[in-house]
C-alpha cells in the first residue's frame, strides 16, 4: 500500500510482531519476538542484543587489560628511572660495599648457605639471602648453592615437626578447608604425593608453614623432599633474577650513569615476563590442586 502526497510516492513499511512462542515444541526456539517487514524478513531481537552485549564486554575487557599493563609498565619505568637510583644510593650500594669489604667470597657462600638452610626452621624468610646469592654468584653457582641449602631448609622443619605431631594435627583441625589440600598430599601412592607437594610449593600457600605441616599430613619424606625441590625451582630463579637486577641497577647508579634504552627495555621485559610467568604457574598449580582433590586415589 502506498500514499500519494505532493505528487511523490511514499512507501509504507509494515511490521508485524509475533509472540507466544514459549511452548513451541516443534523447533524449541523458546520465547522471542520477531520484527519483520512485509515479506517476513528480520532477525530475532534477543539474539541481536546478546551478540551486541557480548561484543562490548569482550571489547571492554581487552581495553581494561591494556590500560592495566600500560599502568604497570609506566610504574615500572618510573621505578627504574627515578625511585630505583635513589633507593640504590641510600640503601643497596652501602650494603653491597659493606658485604664486599667484610666477607670474602667463600665466607659469604657459607653464610648464605647457613641462612637459607636455617631460617625456615626459625620461621624467618630466606628470600633476601637468595637475592644476595643472585647478586654475588649469578645463575650457575647461585642456583646450586640455594637448592642444596633449601634441601636442608625443608628437611629440618619436617624432622622437628614430627616431635610436635599431635599439636600440628590439632591446629590443622581448626582450619578444615585449608587443611584439606594439605591432607590430600599425604594420600595416594608415591607419585601422587610427589605431584601434590610440587603443586603446593608452587601455589601461594605459605612456604614456612608447610614445612612444619607436611609431617602431620603423613606425606613420606622422599616425595616431600623431591617435590619441594622441584616446586621451588621457579621461586629460586625469580629470586636469582631479582638479585642480578638489583646488582645491575646498583652498578649503574654507583658509576653515575643511566641505563641505555635497550637495557631499560630488556630490564622491563624481563621483570614483566617473570611476574607473568609466576602468576600463570601459580594459577595453574591452584587449579591442579583442586582437580587432585576430586581424583580417585591409586593405592
- Residue 152: per-residue pLDDT: 95
Listed in sequence order, the residues at least 6 apart from 166 whose beta carbon sits closer than 8 Å to its beta carbon are none
Q: What is the DSSP letter of 138?
A: T
Distances (CA, A) of 284 to 203, 275, 287: 8, 14, 5
For the chain, domain boundaries: 85-249
Please report, for the chain, how many H helices and E strands are present, in that order.
Answer: 12, 4
Walk along the chain (299 residues) and give the pLDDT tens digit of each residue: 544 555 555 455 454 544 444 444 455 444 544 544 444 444 455 555 555 555 667 677 788 878 887 887 777 666 666 666 666 667 677 777 787 788 888 999 999 999 999 999 998 888 889 989 998 898 899 999 999 999 999 999 999 988 888 888 888 888 877 777 788 777 878 888 898 899 889 887 888 888 888 888 889 999 999 999 999 998 899 899 888 888 877 777 666 666 666 766 776 677 777 777 778 877 887 787 777 666 655 44
Amino acid at each position: 500500500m502506498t500514499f500519494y502526497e505532493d505528487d511523490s510516492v511514499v512507501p509504507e513499511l509494515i511490521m508485524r510482531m509475533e509472540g507466544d512462542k514459549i511452548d513451541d515444541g516443534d523447533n524449541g526456539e523458546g520465547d522471542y519476538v520477531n520484527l519483520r517487514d512485509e515479506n517476513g524478513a528480520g532477525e530475532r531481537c534477543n539474539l541481536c542484543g546478546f551478540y551486541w552485549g557480548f561484543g562490548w564486554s569482550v571489547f571492554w575487557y581487552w581495553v581494561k587489560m591494556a590500560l592495566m599493563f600500560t599502568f604497570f609498565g609506566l610504574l615500572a619505568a618510573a621505578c627504574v628511572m627515578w625511585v630505583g637510583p635513589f633507593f640504590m644510593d641510600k640503601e643497596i650500594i652501602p650494603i653491597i660495599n659493606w658485604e664486599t669489604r667484610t666477607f670474602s667470597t667463600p665466607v659469604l657462600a657459607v653464610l648464605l648457605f647457613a641462612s637459607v638452610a636455617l631460617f625456615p626452621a626459625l620461621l624467618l624468610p630466606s628470600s633476601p639471602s637468595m637475592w644476595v646469592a643472585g647478586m654475588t654468584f649469578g645463575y650457575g653457582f647461585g642456583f646450586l648453592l640455594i637448592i642444596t641449602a633449601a634441601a636442608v631448609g625443608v628437611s629440618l622443619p619436617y624432622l622437628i615437626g614430627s616431635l610436635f605431631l599431635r599439636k600440628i594435627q590439632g591446629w590443622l583441625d581448626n582450619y578444615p578447608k585449608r587443611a584439606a589440600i594439605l591432607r590430600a598430599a599425604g594420600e595416594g601412592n608415591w607419585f601422587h604425593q610427589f605431584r601434590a607437594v610440587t603443586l603446593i610449593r608452587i601455589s601461594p600457600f605459605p612456604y614456612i608453614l608447610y614445612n612444619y605441616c607436611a609431617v602431620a599430613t603423613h606425606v613420606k619424606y622422599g616425595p616431600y623432599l623431591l617435590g619441594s625441590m622441584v616446586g621451588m625451582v621457579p621461586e629460586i630463579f625469580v629470586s636469582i633474577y631479582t638479585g642480578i637486577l638489583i646488582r645491575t641497577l646498583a652498578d649503574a647508579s654507583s658509576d653515575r650513569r643511566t641505563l641505555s634504552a635497550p637495557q631499560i627495555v630488556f630490564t622491563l621485559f624481563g621483570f614483566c615476563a617473570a611476574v607473568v610467568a609466576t602468576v600463570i604457574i601459580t594459577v595453574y598449580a591452584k587449579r591442579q590442586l583442586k582437580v587432585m582433590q576430586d581424583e580417585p586415589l591409586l593405592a
